[in-house]
Amino acid sequence: MQDSSMASSPTFSPPCGPVTGWTDWPGGGRIVRATGIRYAEAARFEAPRPAADRIKV
What pLDDT is attached to residue 2? 45
Domains: count for the chain: 1
**57 located within any domain:** no
Asked if 21 contacts 34 with a C-beta cutoff of 8 angstroms, the reply is: yes
What pLDDT, on the 0 to 100 scale, is given for residue 7?
56
Helix ranges, the chain (H): none
Query: What is the chain's pLDDT, residue by residue, as a tens digit (57 residues)?
Result: 444 445 568 998 888 888 899 998 888 888 989 988 888 999 999 999 998 887 655
Residue 31 lies in domain: 4-50
Residue 18 belongs to some domain of the structure: yes
pLDDT of residue 38: 83
Q: Strands 40-41 and 49-50, how do they pair?
A: antiparallel
Residue 36 falls inside a structural domain: yes
pTM over 0.85: no
- Return the H-helix or E-strand segment holding 20: strand 19-20
φ, ψ for residue 34, nearest 5 deg: -155, 145
